[in-house]
Chains A and B, each alone.
Chain A
């Protein structure tokens, strides 16, 4: 995505250009839905949150800050909205919302062919599946949405350093699997050759 193009589209959006509005809605609403859907199974809750985000953007268009990454801006607004609405609903009915918020759902399949198995891909996939929700969300935003560390930090409300740290932790875990497996094969062979 060309970031400069984003700035220009956003500028027009703020000025009340209907085409810019249409473009932004059409381009991003499904991406927002997909992201929101990873927090909860309740699709209509997410749909309502997206509606709230767009109604708010539409009514405050001239007061919005500038951005060179519209997707980042929208995902951030949606994330804030999801947690605000959750809190609001919680006051109404406590038991309804306790299981509304799932872990951040990001799963990898472990059914692999023999070649992939030889490379321990099934174990790597398992390890990725077991990462804590916040690390999964970080990976999702960085790998699939191309956000920078500072954007991820701002979006998730953590400090810049901890974004890098969270991913480093995940990578170390994965490296352990690959290396330890190598070691255990060597060990296994030694034991049996003897």
Chain B
């Protein structure tokens, strides 16, 4: 008599060794050790003969939704009552509360421009320097807002159009809805969307405005001094230079552009001047150049949110010959 059947049946090693071929050994095994033989048969059935439960009607996007809602709660500082949103066809009043609730503890800063009754209600959600946040809009769209950014959400006047205004940088994951256009309005362009993932960077003090399409399709129109609109394919990065009014599309690894949501900022060949602007937003510091030609040095690499700014400059110093001086909230960069 060998070990107990239970021990075998639930032993990982025994179970993993059972294959479709194992049945051939059964008769021989049965003579030697009938417990093992029975464990073999039962394992075989459990492993290979289980009926699958029929495919689910719950779509992956519904779980995405749950994840983002839960993340919103997870990111709160102080404990608040758990709210559960069962039904997303909520009324305007309820949706104000939803965004309101989310924004209160995430951003610490929100403004309501007008009363609840007006048709043109706008809600502004803002992050300050050093602060990021994630939220789900009442229409199910997921938005991650980067440092020092502002998003104005227009409570929809019509079901066919949902508009948001953006100053700064945000990543959008728009719920698919063929009957409705989602529009991101920025100073130098509009982005029109059906259902897709994309990143918009439109800071007022940046020289360039850009949109990177991760998935789906978007149209860019209302470009400053340009009548023609542009349609992007996944992996396209559209940039607009505010000074010379040139715009261009380059191919890029789109998945990298949304890494900032998880705390990694990836830069592909940007100038030190542009990098400094991002760092100012991240670390709430002022960065000044003693020699302005340094602003044109090129840097590629990642910056991690939880990294101290000194550590980051140590990395930059490896490829660019600079000296760093820090006093209080000011950082001076000079030639080595």
B82–A59 touching, CB < 8 Å? yes
A16–B23 touching, CB < 8 Å? no
* Bound Cα distance A34, B56 (Å): 9
Q: A25-B67, A143-B9 are in contact. Are A43 and B56 (CB under 8 A)?
A: yes
A44–B49 touching, CB < 8 Å? no
* Bound Cα distance A18, B260 (Å): 13
B50–A107 touching, CB < 8 Å? yes
From B12, B45, B73, contact of A55 by CB (8 A): B73
Q: Kindly state whether residue B58 has any CB partner on chain A within 8 Å.
A: yes
Which residues of the partner chain A approach B76 to less than 8 Å between Cβ atoms?
Answer: 59
Interface 0/1 of B25-46, CB less than 8 Å to A: 0100000000000100110111
A116–B23 touching, CB < 8 Å? yes
Interface centre among A59, A106, A107 (most CB of B within 10 A): A59
B82–A55 touching, CB < 8 Å? yes
Q: Kindly state whether residue A60 has any CB partner on chain B within 8 Å.
A: yes
B57–A108 touching, CB < 8 Å? no
Chain B's closest residue to A164 (CB) is B6
Interface 0/1 of A151-170, CB less than 8 Å to B: 00000000000001001100
Q: Kindly state whether residue B321 has any CB partner on chain A within 8 Å.
A: no
Interface 0/1 of B59-88, CB less than 8 Å to A: 000110011011101111001101110100
A18–B71 touching, CB < 8 Å? yes
Which residues of the partner chain B approach A184 to less than 8 Å between Cβ atoms?
Answer: none
- Binding site of B, secondary structure by majority: helix, strand, loop or mixed? helix
A171–B5 touching, CB < 8 Å? yes
Q: Kindly state whether residue B262 has any CB partner on chain A within 8 Å.
A: yes
B42–A124 touching, CB < 8 Å? yes
Q: Kindly state whether residue A78 has any CB partner on chain B within 8 Å.
A: no
* Bound Cα distance A48, B46 (Å): 30
Which residues of the partner chain B approach A105 to less than 8 Å between Cβ atoms?
Answer: 53
* Bound Cα distance A139, B45 (Å): 12
Which residues of the partner chain B approach A146 to less than 8 Å between Cβ atoms?
Answer: 12
A121–B49 touching, CB < 8 Å? yes
B79–A59 touching, CB < 8 Å? yes
* Bound Cα distance A25, B74 (Å): 12
A108–B41 touching, CB < 8 Å? no
Chain B's closest residue to A172 (CB) is B5
Q: Kindly state whether residue A19 has any CB partner on chain B within 8 Å.
A: yes
* Bound Cα distance A107, B63 (Å): 27
Closest-CB distance, A53 to chain B (whole angstroms): 9
Q: A109-B51, A171-B38 are in contact. Are A124 and B262 (CB under 8 A)?
A: no
Interface 0/1 of A18-29, CB less than 8 Å to B: 110110011001
Interface centre among B42, B62, B63 (most CB of A within 10 A): B42
Which residues of the partner chain A approach B73 to less than 8 Å between Cβ atoms?
Answer: 55, 58-59
* Bound Cα distance A106, B66 (Å): 27
- A positions within 8 Å CB-CB of B: 16, 18-19, 21-22, 25-26, 29-30, 33-34, 37-38, 43-44, 47-48, 50-52, 54-61, 105-109, 112, 115-116, 119, 121, 124-125, 128, 139, 142-144, 146, 164, 167-168, 171, 174-175, 178
- B positions within 8 Å CB-CB of A: 5-6, 9-10, 12, 15, 23, 26, 38, 41-42, 44-46, 49-51, 53, 56-58, 62-63, 66-67, 69-71, 73-76, 79-80, 82-84, 86, 262-263
